[in-house]
Structure 1
Amino acid sequence: MFALRRKLLGSCSGPAQGSAAMSTTGECQMRRSTRTILAAAAAAMLLGGLAPAAHAAPTPQDEPQLLLVHGHGRPDEGTNCNGTGGTWADALNYFEGAGGLDRDRMTTVAYYEGNAAGGPNEGNCDVTVSEATADTKIQDIAKDLANYVHDTYTSKGRSVNIAAHSMGGLVTRVALLGTAEGWDGFPSSMKVDNVATAGTPHQGVVEERDDDTAQWDQMEPGSDFLKALHGEGRELGDEWTDGTDWTVIGSDADDVVSYDSAIDKGNATDQKFGYVDNGSAIGHSGLRTISGPPHDYNLNYWNSSGQHHTTNGWAPLKTLFKAATEDGDGLP
């Protein structure tokens, strides 16, 4: 299997080695001593530089941090996650207001060079885990995300939940897959309780676009990346996904990522949500921005008991929030 993976993917190391394709809460049960608390506080101060915004402050051990991972964009510009009109502005407001999740328990994650020091969107996301350029492959961004999750949370006994939009879902998927398979440069483990992907091209994009990024090329149907992603034992629902509750969300009005691709049709996940016959209301960005009306959507959904349909379905942001923060079959 390892030899086959190497043949399909090439090296799983970073771009400097020329990789061409695809290169995981417990509750404290003893009272800590004053000395231990002081030591932990000192360590937190030393590590503070890893999280440029106060929003990424530590949370209690029994409360997973929710990471929000954005989708494809222009690497030189980066992404505005938090500001007015930003990628996650509506979601942050809804998750905090209607969802009751404190803002310091949510971390928006960037990975483009435009979010790094000196970039046009420096500081507009809570953390920047990579400095991807137009030539950076998805698997290399995924490696950086995986190491961030391991170093910041998993290695400290903490877990995370992940809500991802568009390409961010592929970055998340490959981060967990590469970790599970022990790819070069990936961490030993990731503790991820829930993953919810919205409008993610699990089977490729449908929009035809003249795009100058390696990432977009990888998302085009028939790419070596997608072929390898769907290799034997690598589908969602296969053994490598054990320990994480997976939900995929799509819309038939999405003209960037088709309904079938977003819900990874033909492959098993713990839950699937598919918005159908809602006109043009729920497009690609609508899956991460629409919060109301809260119960007014035609929605197909799948869980352990099979396929269902409702005409009183959740708004997309309610679906994304519940899928990313709750285990099991709590469907509408």
Structure 2
Amino acid sequence: MRRSARSGLALSLVGVAVTAVLIATAPAASAAPARADGHRVTVMVHGFDREADISCAGAWNSAKKLLNANGWGDVVTFGYYNKATNCDLRLQGTTDTRIQEVGRQFAWTVYYLYSSHDVAIDVVTHSMGGLVAKAAIEGVNRYGVGKPPPDLSGLTVDPNNIGATKWPRDWPPFLYIEDMVTLATPHQGIGSAVVSACAITHEQCSDMRPGSGFLSWLGKQPASQMGTDYTFLASSHDDTVSSDSATNKRIAHHWALYGSDADGGTLSHTSIRNTSIGDWQASYGGDFSDEGEGAYPAPLRRMLEGLYDQRAQ
């Protein structure tokens, strides 16, 4: 894998503190940024939480520490529940806010803060967060591409209440997301009885049922306007998302399915997003990766590599 120096182009959103109100103007679209294969701004998106009170800082503590220790200075957390805490950016939604709509809000947030300024980002997600990020790209590709850049001058955005922003009704005209790493994301849905029961009272669970309208709409690996390189990481011991769903039936630019470590330890649906150490066994492959089975980096170590992986030229 190619390693390169950090591109000096970063709108250090959280580095300058996402506090009060942000105001920006979207310039006309220009050529998409070139791949940096380096330390992009990285936006992290959490997964479904039945109580809607997840802590973004708690969910991403291990991953953010590892990123910071390895040269990623601009790491931003995005939350989408009204009871979520310690998020750099927050949509005050509920478990009934459809995933497509969360994706639209995420798309406008990324466009407003980054893409419209020709700044590309990377995205790291856990569980349903991967569906949110993919929905952002898919919606732009279906409904935004080809439209003129909107005039967002004078628009005010409260980072603690993204949903209050008066975005245009449709989708942004382009997004620049270079790499996406998903951890235990149900790309093909969750078929368990628990989710079927949850779907009765929570619309997001309904969206995650296999064959749902949302999943039928969602692309397998939608590419942003600069191309997007995908890494899907899964655990064969995940009791929430099946191996086939989390690897999208091994259809990805890069995928890995973890077994156990040298001590017999395994990765749960939650621990896969927190584990950066251990000697792990995995099967792995992908469109742009070697295929095999054997020793493999811990999930968060593989996450770092995923933020450098390259699309086919």
The alignment's TM-score, normalised by the length of structure 2, stands at: 0.74
User: Matched residues in 1 for 2:228 and 2:220: separation?
Assistant: 14
> Cα distance, 1:303 vs. partner?
3.6
Query: 87, 97, 107: which one pairs with 2:76?
Result: 107
Aligned to 2:62: 90
User: Matched residues in 1 for 2:143 and 2:47: separation?
Assistant: 25
Aligned to 1:217: 206
Query: 255, 258, 271: which one pairs with 2:254?
Result: 271
User: Matched residues in 1 for 2:248 and 2:98: separation?
Assistant: 21
Query: 182, 189, 193: which one pairs with 2:178?
Result: 193
| Contact map agreement 2:254 2:288 (CA 8 A) in 1 | no
Aligned to 1:301: 284
Q: Secondary structure at the residue paired with 2:131? A: helix
Amino acid at match of 1:49: A
| Contact map agreement 2:48 2:127 (CA 8 A) in 1 | yes
Query: 254, 265, 269: which one pairs with 2:238?
Result: 254
> Cα distance, 1:328 vs. partner?
2.0
User: Matched residues in 1 for 2:273 and 2:256: separation?
Assistant: 14
Q: Secondary structure at the residue paired with 1:113? A: coil
Greater relative contact order structure (CA < 8 Å, 6+ sep): 2
Query: 46, 59, 69: which one pairs with 2:45?
Result: 69
> Cα distance, 1:321 vs. partner?
2.4
The alignment's TM-score, normalised by the length of structure 1, stands at: 0.70
Q: Which moved more, 1:251-260 or 1:308-317?
A: 308-317
Residue 173, structure 1, aligned to residue 134, structure 2: yes
27 and 95 in structure 1: CA distance in 2 versus 1, 3 angstrom threshold: closer
Q: Secondary structure at the residue paired with 1:290? A: coil
> Cα distance, 1:308 vs. partner?
2.1
User: Matched residues in 1 for 2:289 and 2:111: separation?
Assistant: 34
197 and 46 in structure 1: CA distance in 2 versus 1, 3 angstrom threshold: closer
> Cα distance, 1:141 vs. partner?
0.3
Amino acid at match of 2:87: C
More helix by share: 1
Q: Secondary structure at the residue paired with 1:114? A: coil
Question: Deviation string for 1:245-297 (max 9, x for gaps)?
Answer: 11111111011111110000163x2111111355561111121001112xx11
Question: Deviation string for 1:199-252 (max 9, x for gaps)?
Answer: 0000011443232310011101232222232xxxx332x666861111111111
Percent of aligned positions that are identical? 28
Aligned to 2:100: 139
User: Matched residues in 2 for 1:266 and 1:100: separation?
Assistant: 30
User: Matched residues in 1 for 2:115 and 2:59: separation?
Assistant: 26
User: Matched residues in 1 for 2:65 and 2:17: separation?
Assistant: 30
| Contact map agreement 1:253 1:280 (CA 8 A) in 2 | no
User: Matched residues in 1 for 2:170 and 2:297: separation?
Assistant: 39
326 and 307 in structure 1: CA distance in 2 versus 1, 3 angstrom threshold: closer
| Contact map agreement 2:176 2:225 (CA 8 A) in 1 | no
> Cα distance, 1:146 vs. partner?
0.2
- Computed over aligned residues only, the root mean square deviation of the Cα atoms, in angstroms, reads 3.0
Q: Which moved more, 1:212-221 or 1:159-168?
A: 212-221
Query: 82, 85, 89: which one pairs with 1:127?
Result: 89
> Cα distance, 1:134 vs. partner?
2.8
**Unpaired runs of at least 5, structure 1:** 1-24, 29-39, 52-60, 116-120
| Contact map agreement 2:107 2:136 (CA 8 A) in 1 | yes
| Contact map agreement 1:206 1:255 (CA 8 A) in 2 | no
User: Matched residues in 2 for 1:144 and 1:138: separation?
Assistant: 10
Q: Secondary structure at the residue paired with 1:141? A: helix
Aligned length: 259
195 and 45 in structure 1: CA distance in 2 versus 1, 3 angstrom threshold: closer
